[in-house]
Structure 1
Amino acid sequence: MKPSSVLQTLLVVLALLLVGACAPATRPTDTRHVTQYRVQDGKTGITGQVLFKESGMPLRDAYVNVYPDTLSNLLGPSQFISSPTDAEGRYLITDVPPGTYYVVARKRISGQPTGPLSPGDYFSEHQRISTEVVAGKLAVVDLPVVPIKAPMFFKRSVGEQRTDTGIRGVLTDENGKPVPGSFAIAYVNDDIKRAPDFASTLTDQEGRFVLYLPKGGTYYLAARIHAWDMPRPGEPYGLYGNGEPKPLEVAEGQFIEGLRLVMRPFEGEYKPGKSRRPY
Protein backbone atom coordinates (compact mmCIF):
# COMPACT_ATOMS: atom_id res chain seq x y z
CA MET A 1 0.00 0.00 0.00
CA LYS A 2 1.29 3.45 -0.91
CA PRO A 3 2.20 5.85 1.93
CA SER A 4 -0.51 8.27 0.74
CA SER A 5 -3.15 5.51 0.97
CA VAL A 6 -1.99 4.57 4.46
CA LEU A 7 -2.24 8.20 5.53
CA GLN A 8 -5.76 8.55 4.09
CA THR A 9 -6.88 5.37 5.89
CA LEU A 10 -5.47 6.63 9.20
CA LEU A 11 -7.25 9.97 8.76
CA VAL A 12 -10.58 8.25 8.13
CA VAL A 13 -10.16 6.05 11.24
CA LEU A 14 -9.23 9.09 13.33
CA ALA A 15 -12.28 10.99 12.09
CA LEU A 16 -14.58 8.09 13.02
CA LEU A 17 -13.05 7.88 16.49
CA LEU A 18 -13.56 11.61 17.03
CA VAL A 19 -17.18 11.39 15.93
CA GLY A 20 -17.78 8.52 18.35
CA ALA A 21 -16.08 10.37 21.21
CA CYS A 22 -18.14 13.49 20.63
CA ALA A 23 -21.48 11.71 20.27
CA PRO A 24 -23.89 12.61 23.08
CA ALA A 25 -24.56 9.96 25.70
CA THR A 26 -27.78 8.06 25.12
CA ARG A 27 -30.37 8.67 27.81
CA PRO A 28 -32.11 5.78 29.55
CA THR A 29 -35.25 4.64 27.75
CA ASP A 30 -37.45 5.83 30.62
CA THR A 31 -36.31 9.46 30.23
CA ARG A 32 -38.44 12.04 28.41
CA HIS A 33 -36.32 14.93 27.15
CA VAL A 34 -38.13 18.29 26.90
CA THR A 35 -36.93 20.86 24.36
CA GLN A 36 -39.47 23.67 24.63
CA TYR A 37 -38.20 27.21 25.35
CA ARG A 38 -39.30 30.78 25.76
CA VAL A 39 -37.48 34.09 26.17
CA GLN A 40 -38.25 36.21 29.24
CA ASP A 41 -36.07 39.25 29.98
CA GLY A 42 -32.92 37.31 29.11
CA LYS A 43 -33.37 34.94 32.07
CA THR A 44 -31.71 31.54 32.09
CA GLY A 45 -33.40 28.62 33.87
CA ILE A 46 -36.47 26.41 33.99
CA THR A 47 -40.17 27.23 34.25
CA GLY A 48 -43.52 25.53 33.78
CA GLN A 49 -46.57 24.19 35.60
CA VAL A 50 -47.17 21.41 38.09
CA LEU A 51 -50.47 19.70 37.27
CA PHE A 52 -52.59 16.84 38.55
CA LYS A 53 -52.09 14.08 35.98
CA GLU A 54 -55.67 12.83 36.19
CA SER A 55 -57.53 16.14 35.91
CA GLY A 56 -54.95 18.48 34.38
CA MET A 57 -55.75 21.04 37.10
CA PRO A 58 -52.85 23.09 38.58
CA LEU A 59 -51.29 22.09 41.90
CA ARG A 60 -50.48 24.89 44.32
CA ASP A 61 -47.62 24.88 46.87
CA ALA A 62 -45.61 22.15 45.16
CA TYR A 63 -41.82 22.30 44.93
CA VAL A 64 -39.74 21.53 41.86
CA ASN A 65 -36.32 19.93 42.31
CA VAL A 66 -33.54 20.09 39.71
CA TYR A 67 -30.79 17.44 39.68
CA PRO A 68 -27.61 17.54 37.55
CA ASP A 69 -27.57 13.72 37.18
CA THR A 70 -29.34 10.55 38.31
CA LEU A 71 -26.69 9.21 40.71
CA SER A 72 -29.06 9.64 43.66
CA ASN A 73 -32.02 8.07 41.79
CA LEU A 74 -33.51 11.59 41.94
CA LEU A 75 -33.99 11.22 45.69
CA GLY A 76 -32.65 13.43 48.45
CA PRO A 77 -31.30 17.00 48.22
CA SER A 78 -31.26 18.55 44.75
CA GLN A 79 -28.94 21.15 43.26
CA PHE A 80 -31.78 23.65 42.78
CA ILE A 81 -35.28 23.91 44.26
CA SER A 82 -38.12 26.26 43.37
CA SER A 83 -40.31 28.40 45.57
CA PRO A 84 -43.81 26.94 46.14
CA THR A 85 -45.92 26.92 42.97
CA ASP A 86 -48.57 29.64 42.72
CA ALA A 87 -52.35 29.26 42.34
CA GLU A 88 -51.84 28.32 38.69
CA GLY A 89 -49.26 25.69 39.56
CA ARG A 90 -46.49 27.77 37.99
CA TYR A 91 -42.85 27.77 39.07
CA LEU A 92 -39.70 29.58 37.98
CA ILE A 93 -36.08 28.68 38.74
CA THR A 94 -33.53 31.14 37.40
CA ASP A 95 -29.74 31.38 37.40
CA VAL A 96 -29.41 27.69 36.52
CA PRO A 97 -26.17 27.34 34.52
CA PRO A 98 -26.48 25.95 30.98
CA GLY A 99 -26.41 22.16 30.89
CA THR A 100 -28.58 19.06 31.09
CA TYR A 101 -30.78 18.59 34.17
CA TYR A 102 -33.46 16.26 35.54
CA VAL A 103 -36.63 17.91 36.85
CA VAL A 104 -38.94 16.48 39.55
CA ALA A 105 -42.06 17.90 41.26
CA ARG A 106 -43.20 17.04 44.79
CA LYS A 107 -45.78 18.26 47.27
CA ARG A 108 -45.83 17.04 50.86
CA ILE A 109 -48.91 17.26 53.06
CA SER A 110 -46.63 18.68 55.74
CA GLY A 111 -45.88 21.66 53.53
CA GLN A 112 -42.15 21.06 53.89
CA PRO A 113 -39.95 21.44 50.79
CA THR A 114 -37.78 18.44 51.68
CA GLY A 115 -37.96 15.13 53.51
CA PRO A 116 -39.32 11.62 52.89
CA LEU A 117 -42.53 11.23 50.92
CA SER A 118 -45.54 9.67 52.62
CA PRO A 119 -48.96 8.43 51.52
CA GLY A 120 -51.07 11.38 50.42
CA ASP A 121 -48.11 13.40 49.13
CA TYR A 122 -47.75 14.10 45.40
CA PHE A 123 -44.83 13.44 43.07
CA SER A 124 -44.04 13.31 39.37
CA GLU A 125 -43.95 9.73 38.14
CA HIS A 126 -41.00 7.38 37.61
CA GLN A 127 -40.43 8.43 34.00
CA ARG A 128 -37.50 10.82 34.30
CA ILE A 129 -37.91 14.22 32.70
CA SER A 130 -34.76 15.97 31.52
CA THR A 131 -34.15 19.25 29.74
CA GLU A 132 -31.28 21.27 28.35
CA VAL A 133 -30.85 24.71 29.92
CA VAL A 134 -29.72 27.26 27.32
CA ALA A 135 -28.23 30.66 28.14
CA GLY A 136 -30.74 33.49 27.79
CA LYS A 137 -33.75 31.16 27.61
CA LEU A 138 -36.18 29.44 29.95
CA ALA A 139 -36.75 25.73 29.38
CA VAL A 140 -40.50 25.09 29.71
CA VAL A 141 -41.14 21.86 31.62
CA ASP A 142 -44.65 20.95 32.76
CA LEU A 143 -44.80 18.24 35.43
CA PRO A 144 -47.85 15.99 35.96
CA VAL A 145 -48.07 14.52 39.46
CA VAL A 146 -49.87 11.59 41.09
CA PRO A 147 -50.53 10.81 44.77
CA ILE A 148 -48.21 8.58 46.76
CA LYS A 149 -50.13 5.46 47.78
CA ALA A 150 -47.34 3.92 49.86
CA PRO A 151 -44.10 5.09 51.50
CA MET A 152 -41.02 5.52 49.34
CA PHE A 153 -39.17 2.23 48.91
CA PHE A 154 -35.72 3.45 49.99
CA LYS A 155 -34.79 4.50 53.50
CA ARG A 156 -31.46 5.76 52.23
CA SER A 157 -29.31 5.64 49.12
CA VAL A 158 -25.55 5.88 48.78
CA GLY A 159 -25.41 6.11 45.01
CA GLU A 160 -23.77 9.51 45.23
CA GLN A 161 -21.45 8.69 48.17
CA ARG A 162 -18.29 7.30 46.60
CA THR A 163 -16.20 4.93 48.69
CA ASP A 164 -13.31 2.55 48.04
CA THR A 165 -15.47 -0.52 48.71
CA GLY A 166 -18.29 -1.89 46.60
CA ILE A 167 -19.53 -3.82 43.59
CA ARG A 168 -19.43 -3.11 39.87
CA GLY A 169 -21.58 -5.14 37.57
CA VAL A 170 -24.32 -5.31 34.99
CA LEU A 171 -28.08 -5.86 35.02
CA THR A 172 -29.54 -7.86 32.15
CA ASP A 173 -32.80 -9.52 31.19
CA GLU A 174 -33.22 -13.24 30.61
CA ASN A 175 -31.95 -12.86 27.05
CA GLY A 176 -28.74 -11.18 28.16
CA LYS A 177 -29.82 -7.72 27.03
CA PRO A 178 -28.86 -4.80 29.33
CA VAL A 179 -31.56 -3.14 31.44
CA PRO A 180 -30.79 0.62 31.49
CA GLY A 181 -32.26 3.01 34.04
CA SER A 182 -32.37 0.37 36.80
CA PHE A 183 -30.34 -0.16 39.96
CA ALA A 184 -28.90 -2.83 42.21
CA ILE A 185 -29.87 -2.82 45.89
CA ALA A 186 -28.01 -4.30 48.86
CA TYR A 187 -29.01 -5.58 52.29
CA VAL A 188 -26.79 -6.27 55.31
CA ASN A 189 -28.70 -9.49 56.08
CA ASP A 190 -30.91 -11.99 54.28
CA ASP A 191 -34.13 -10.23 55.33
CA ILE A 192 -34.78 -8.68 51.92
CA LYS A 193 -38.53 -8.23 52.50
CA ARG A 194 -37.94 -4.63 53.57
CA ALA A 195 -36.43 -1.37 52.40
CA PRO A 196 -32.88 -1.97 51.14
CA ASP A 197 -29.89 -0.60 53.02
CA PHE A 198 -28.00 0.66 49.95
CA ALA A 199 -28.65 1.39 46.28
CA SER A 200 -26.38 1.66 43.27
CA THR A 201 -26.09 4.31 40.64
CA LEU A 202 -28.60 3.96 37.81
CA THR A 203 -27.49 1.57 35.09
CA ASP A 204 -26.31 3.06 31.80
CA GLN A 205 -27.23 1.88 28.31
CA GLU A 206 -24.97 -1.14 28.78
CA GLY A 207 -26.72 -2.06 32.03
CA ARG A 208 -23.63 -1.21 34.10
CA PHE A 209 -23.93 -0.09 37.72
CA VAL A 210 -21.67 0.89 40.61
CA LEU A 211 -22.75 0.04 44.15
CA TYR A 212 -20.70 1.92 46.76
CA LEU A 213 -20.64 0.35 50.23
CA PRO A 214 -19.48 1.94 53.50
CA LYS A 215 -17.31 -1.04 54.51
CA GLY A 216 -16.48 -4.64 53.70
CA GLY A 217 -18.72 -7.44 54.87
CA THR A 218 -21.52 -9.78 53.88
CA TYR A 219 -24.26 -8.40 51.64
CA TYR A 220 -27.34 -9.70 49.84
CA LEU A 221 -28.20 -8.25 46.44
CA ALA A 222 -31.32 -7.66 44.36
CA ALA A 223 -32.25 -5.38 41.44
CA ARG A 224 -35.20 -3.05 40.77
CA ILE A 225 -36.46 -0.62 38.16
CA HIS A 226 -38.62 1.49 40.50
CA ALA A 227 -37.72 3.40 43.65
CA TRP A 228 -41.05 2.92 45.39
CA ASP A 229 -43.69 0.30 46.12
CA MET A 230 -43.14 -3.44 46.02
CA PRO A 231 -42.68 -5.16 42.64
CA ARG A 232 -45.83 -5.96 40.71
CA PRO A 233 -46.31 -9.24 38.85
CA GLY A 234 -44.39 -9.13 35.59
CA GLU A 235 -42.12 -6.27 36.65
CA PRO A 236 -38.39 -7.02 36.10
CA TYR A 237 -36.78 -8.02 39.38
CA GLY A 238 -33.36 -9.51 40.07
CA LEU A 239 -32.00 -11.54 42.98
CA TYR A 240 -28.45 -12.73 43.63
CA GLY A 241 -28.97 -16.41 44.37
CA ASN A 242 -30.86 -19.35 42.93
CA GLY A 243 -34.33 -18.37 44.10
CA GLU A 244 -33.07 -17.59 47.61
CA PRO A 245 -30.88 -14.71 48.85
CA LYS A 246 -27.23 -15.72 48.57
CA PRO A 247 -24.53 -13.99 50.67
CA LEU A 248 -21.77 -12.11 48.88
CA GLU A 249 -18.53 -11.29 50.68
CA VAL A 250 -17.06 -7.87 49.86
CA ALA A 251 -13.51 -7.17 51.05
CA GLU A 252 -12.70 -3.86 52.74
CA GLY A 253 -11.15 -1.37 50.31
CA GLN A 254 -11.90 -3.49 47.23
CA PHE A 255 -14.49 -3.77 44.48
CA ILE A 256 -16.06 -6.95 43.20
CA GLU A 257 -15.94 -6.58 39.42
CA GLY A 258 -18.17 -7.95 36.69
CA LEU A 259 -21.08 -9.18 38.81
CA ARG A 260 -24.13 -10.02 36.68
CA LEU A 261 -27.70 -9.91 37.97
CA VAL A 262 -30.48 -11.25 35.76
CA MET A 263 -33.82 -9.44 36.00
CA ARG A 264 -36.83 -11.68 35.42
CA PRO A 265 -40.59 -11.00 35.57
CA PHE A 266 -41.63 -10.85 39.21
CA GLU A 267 -43.90 -13.74 40.18
CA GLY A 268 -44.73 -12.82 43.76
CA GLU A 269 -48.03 -11.50 45.03
CA TYR A 270 -48.56 -7.74 45.02
CA LYS A 271 -49.73 -6.38 48.37
CA PRO A 272 -50.90 -2.74 48.27
CA GLY A 273 -49.37 -0.62 51.01
CA LYS A 274 -46.46 -3.03 51.53
CA SER A 275 -43.92 -0.92 49.68
CA ARG A 276 -41.25 -1.61 52.30
CA ARG A 277 -41.38 -5.29 51.41
CA PRO A 278 -39.92 -6.25 47.99
CA TYR A 279 -42.31 -9.21 47.78
Structure 2
Amino acid sequence: MKLVISPSLLVFSLILVFSISCQGGATAAEPYLLKGKVTDVEGKPVEDAVIFIYQSTNTKKQPDFASPKSDREGRFRIALPPGKYWAVARVRKDEEVGPVPSRGRHSGEPAEIEMRGEGDVEKDFVVADIREIARMGAKTRREAVVMVAGRILDGDGKPVRMAYALAKKGGDLSEVPDYLSGWTDETGYYALYLPRGKYHLGAAASFPSDEGNLSFTEVIIDGDKKDIDIIMNTPFHNSQ
Protein backbone atom coordinates (compact mmCIF):
# COMPACT_ATOMS: atom_id res chain seq x y z
CA MET A 1 0.00 0.00 0.00
CA LYS A 2 1.31 3.44 -0.90
CA LEU A 3 1.22 5.98 1.96
CA VAL A 4 -0.12 9.38 0.90
CA ILE A 5 0.36 12.45 3.12
CA SER A 6 -2.02 15.30 2.46
CA PRO A 7 -0.55 18.79 2.02
CA SER A 8 -2.63 20.12 4.92
CA LEU A 9 -1.24 17.49 7.31
CA LEU A 10 2.31 18.25 6.22
CA VAL A 11 1.81 21.97 6.82
CA PHE A 12 0.30 21.28 10.26
CA SER A 13 3.28 19.10 11.21
CA LEU A 14 5.79 21.77 10.21
CA ILE A 15 3.88 24.40 12.20
CA LEU A 16 3.84 22.11 15.26
CA VAL A 17 7.60 21.48 15.08
CA PHE A 18 8.29 25.20 14.68
CA SER A 19 6.04 26.01 17.65
CA ILE A 20 7.82 23.50 19.91
CA SER A 21 11.22 24.88 18.86
CA CYS A 22 10.16 28.42 19.69
CA GLN A 23 8.84 27.38 23.10
CA GLY A 24 12.11 25.61 23.86
CA GLY A 25 14.09 28.74 22.99
CA ALA A 26 11.79 30.88 25.12
CA THR A 27 12.44 28.73 28.19
CA ALA A 28 16.26 28.72 27.78
CA ALA A 29 18.06 29.72 30.96
CA GLU A 30 19.01 33.37 31.20
CA PRO A 31 22.67 34.17 31.94
CA TYR A 32 23.80 35.48 35.32
CA LEU A 33 26.18 38.38 35.86
CA LEU A 34 29.30 37.71 37.93
CA LYS A 35 30.85 40.95 39.09
CA GLY A 36 33.29 42.15 41.71
CA LYS A 37 36.57 43.88 42.42
CA VAL A 38 40.22 42.80 42.27
CA THR A 39 42.63 44.29 44.80
CA ASP A 40 46.20 43.69 45.93
CA VAL A 41 47.29 42.68 49.43
CA GLU A 42 47.13 46.35 50.54
CA GLY A 43 43.57 46.76 49.33
CA LYS A 44 44.48 48.85 46.29
CA PRO A 45 42.52 48.21 43.07
CA VAL A 46 44.29 46.11 40.44
CA GLU A 47 43.87 47.00 36.79
CA ASP A 48 44.14 44.49 33.91
CA ALA A 49 43.30 41.43 36.03
CA VAL A 50 41.41 38.65 34.26
CA ILE A 51 39.01 36.26 36.00
CA PHE A 52 39.59 32.76 34.64
CA ILE A 53 36.51 30.58 35.12
CA TYR A 54 36.42 26.78 34.97
CA GLN A 55 33.64 24.23 35.07
CA SER A 56 35.81 21.90 37.18
CA THR A 57 38.64 22.16 39.72
CA ASN A 58 41.20 21.51 36.96
CA THR A 59 42.71 24.97 36.45
CA LYS A 60 45.71 23.76 34.42
CA LYS A 61 43.71 23.69 31.20
CA GLN A 62 42.27 26.45 29.07
CA PRO A 63 39.55 28.31 30.97
CA ASP A 64 35.96 27.73 29.98
CA PHE A 65 35.25 31.45 30.37
CA ALA A 66 37.41 34.53 30.87
CA SER A 67 36.32 38.01 31.87
CA PRO A 68 37.43 41.24 30.21
CA LYS A 69 40.32 42.89 32.05
CA SER A 70 39.47 44.77 35.21
CA ASP A 71 39.27 48.55 34.95
CA ARG A 72 41.22 51.19 36.87
CA GLU A 73 38.99 50.64 39.89
CA GLY A 74 39.69 46.91 39.77
CA ARG A 75 36.11 46.13 38.80
CA PHE A 76 35.11 43.34 36.44
CA ARG A 77 31.93 41.70 35.16
CA ILE A 78 31.10 38.69 33.02
CA ALA A 79 27.84 36.96 32.04
CA LEU A 80 27.67 33.21 32.73
CA PRO A 81 25.06 30.47 32.28
CA PRO A 82 23.63 28.93 35.47
CA GLY A 83 25.89 26.35 37.11
CA LYS A 84 28.81 25.77 39.46
CA TYR A 85 32.19 27.26 38.61
CA TRP A 86 35.71 27.64 39.97
CA ALA A 87 37.33 31.04 39.45
CA VAL A 88 40.84 32.44 39.75
CA ALA A 89 41.95 36.05 39.27
CA ARG A 90 45.25 36.40 37.43
CA VAL A 91 47.53 39.24 36.42
CA ARG A 92 50.27 38.40 33.96
CA LYS A 93 52.25 40.22 31.28
CA ASP A 94 52.68 37.28 28.92
CA GLU A 95 50.01 35.10 27.27
CA GLU A 96 46.69 35.11 29.10
CA VAL A 97 45.89 31.41 29.13
CA GLY A 98 47.30 28.51 31.09
CA PRO A 99 48.76 28.40 34.60
CA VAL A 100 50.22 31.46 36.25
CA PRO A 101 54.05 31.42 36.35
CA SER A 102 55.84 31.84 39.67
CA ARG A 103 56.46 35.53 38.94
CA GLY A 104 52.81 36.27 38.17
CA ARG A 105 50.14 37.45 40.57
CA HIS A 106 47.05 35.39 41.27
CA SER A 107 44.32 34.87 43.86
CA GLY A 108 45.47 31.43 45.06
CA GLU A 109 43.21 28.42 45.20
CA PRO A 110 40.12 28.50 42.95
CA ALA A 111 37.02 30.08 44.48
CA GLU A 112 33.85 28.00 44.13
CA ILE A 113 30.96 30.04 42.75
CA GLU A 114 27.30 29.06 42.35
CA MET A 115 25.45 30.90 39.59
CA ARG A 116 21.86 30.07 40.56
CA GLY A 117 18.84 31.69 42.18
CA GLU A 118 17.91 35.28 41.51
CA GLY A 119 20.01 38.35 40.90
CA ASP A 120 23.67 38.92 40.14
CA VAL A 121 26.55 37.25 41.99
CA GLU A 122 29.31 39.35 43.53
CA LYS A 123 32.80 37.99 44.27
CA ASP A 124 35.94 39.95 45.10
CA PHE A 125 39.49 38.68 44.60
CA VAL A 126 42.83 39.55 46.19
CA VAL A 127 45.88 38.88 44.03
CA ALA A 128 49.48 38.50 45.19
CA ASP A 129 52.66 36.74 44.16
CA ILE A 130 54.07 33.97 46.32
CA ARG A 131 56.65 36.31 47.89
CA GLU A 132 53.95 38.76 49.02
CA ILE A 133 51.83 35.97 50.47
CA ALA A 134 54.77 34.52 52.37
CA ARG A 135 55.90 37.90 53.68
CA MET A 136 52.41 38.77 54.88
CA GLY A 137 52.19 35.57 56.87
CA ALA A 138 55.71 35.97 58.22
CA LYS A 139 55.06 39.59 59.18
CA THR A 140 52.02 38.52 61.16
CA ARG A 141 54.21 36.02 63.03
CA ARG A 142 57.17 38.47 63.17
CA GLU A 143 59.37 36.04 61.29
CA ALA A 144 61.87 36.49 58.45
CA VAL A 145 61.45 34.49 55.27
CA VAL A 146 64.04 32.51 53.34
CA MET A 147 64.00 31.99 49.59
CA VAL A 148 64.04 28.31 48.67
CA ALA A 149 64.54 27.82 44.95
CA GLY A 150 65.67 25.27 42.42
CA ARG A 151 64.34 23.04 39.69
CA ILE A 152 61.73 20.31 39.65
CA LEU A 153 63.19 17.33 37.79
CA ASP A 154 61.94 13.95 36.65
CA GLY A 155 63.70 10.64 37.29
CA ASP A 156 66.00 11.23 34.31
CA GLY A 157 67.09 14.63 35.58
CA LYS A 158 65.05 16.58 33.01
CA PRO A 159 63.13 19.74 34.01
CA VAL A 160 59.41 19.22 34.59
CA ARG A 161 57.07 21.77 33.07
CA MET A 162 53.61 22.44 34.56
CA ALA A 163 54.54 21.30 38.08
CA TYR A 164 54.73 23.15 41.40
CA ALA A 165 56.62 22.85 44.68
CA LEU A 166 54.89 22.47 48.03
CA ALA A 167 56.05 22.61 51.62
CA LYS A 168 54.45 21.21 54.78
CA LYS A 169 55.48 21.99 58.35
CA GLY A 170 53.64 19.19 60.11
CA GLY A 171 54.40 15.50 60.13
CA ASP A 172 51.11 14.49 58.54
CA LEU A 173 51.94 14.49 54.84
CA SER A 174 48.29 13.96 53.89
CA GLU A 175 47.33 17.44 55.13
CA VAL A 176 46.95 20.45 52.84
CA PRO A 177 50.36 22.07 52.11
CA ASP A 178 51.26 25.21 54.03
CA TYR A 179 53.04 26.77 51.04
CA LEU A 180 52.78 26.41 47.26
CA SER A 181 54.92 27.78 44.45
CA GLY A 182 53.64 28.88 41.07
CA TRP A 183 53.55 26.52 38.10
CA THR A 184 56.94 25.82 36.52
CA ASP A 185 57.86 26.72 32.96
CA GLU A 186 60.05 24.70 30.60
CA THR A 187 63.11 25.27 32.85
CA GLY A 188 61.42 23.55 35.81
CA TYR A 189 62.31 26.52 38.03
CA TYR A 190 60.35 27.07 41.25
CA ALA A 191 60.64 29.43 44.21
CA LEU A 192 59.16 29.34 47.70
CA TYR A 193 59.50 31.88 50.51
CA LEU A 194 59.45 30.12 53.86
CA PRO A 195 59.99 31.15 57.48
CA ARG A 196 62.95 29.37 59.06
CA GLY A 197 62.24 25.88 60.33
CA LYS A 198 61.86 22.24 59.33
CA TYR A 199 59.71 21.30 56.34
CA HIS A 200 58.70 18.44 54.13
CA LEU A 201 59.42 19.68 50.61
CA GLY A 202 57.87 18.04 47.57
CA ALA A 203 56.45 18.60 44.10
CA ALA A 204 53.30 17.71 42.21
CA ALA A 205 52.03 17.97 38.64
CA SER A 206 48.28 18.12 39.36
CA PHE A 207 46.06 20.32 41.49
CA PRO A 208 44.74 19.20 43.88
CA SER A 209 47.79 16.98 44.27
CA ASP A 210 47.57 13.21 43.95
CA GLU A 211 48.80 11.99 47.33
CA GLY A 212 49.71 8.59 45.90
CA ASN A 213 52.29 10.18 43.58
CA LEU A 214 53.77 12.71 45.99
CA SER A 215 57.35 12.49 47.22
CA PHE A 216 58.90 14.55 50.01
CA THR A 217 62.32 15.57 51.25
CA GLU A 218 62.81 16.73 54.84
CA VAL A 219 64.75 19.99 54.87
CA ILE A 220 65.83 22.50 57.48
CA ILE A 221 65.60 26.14 56.41
CA ASP A 222 68.02 28.18 58.51
CA GLY A 223 69.99 30.49 56.18
CA ASP A 224 69.36 33.42 53.89
CA LYS A 225 68.76 31.28 50.80
CA LYS A 226 68.62 27.58 50.04
CA ASP A 227 69.02 25.96 46.61
CA ILE A 228 67.22 22.63 46.37
CA ASP A 229 66.32 20.62 43.29
CA ILE A 230 63.28 18.40 43.72
CA ILE A 231 63.17 14.99 42.06
CA MET A 232 59.57 13.94 41.47
CA ASN A 233 58.23 10.51 42.42
CA THR A 234 61.17 9.50 44.60
CA PRO A 235 60.93 7.83 48.03
CA PHE A 236 60.92 10.03 51.12
CA HIS A 237 64.40 10.95 52.35
CA ASN A 238 66.17 13.51 54.54
CA SER A 239 68.28 16.39 53.26
CA GLN A 240 70.17 18.79 55.48
TM-score (norm 1): 0.43
The structure where helix makes up a greater share of residues is 2
TM-score (norm 2): 0.49
Question: Which of 1 and 2 has greater Rg?
Answer: 2
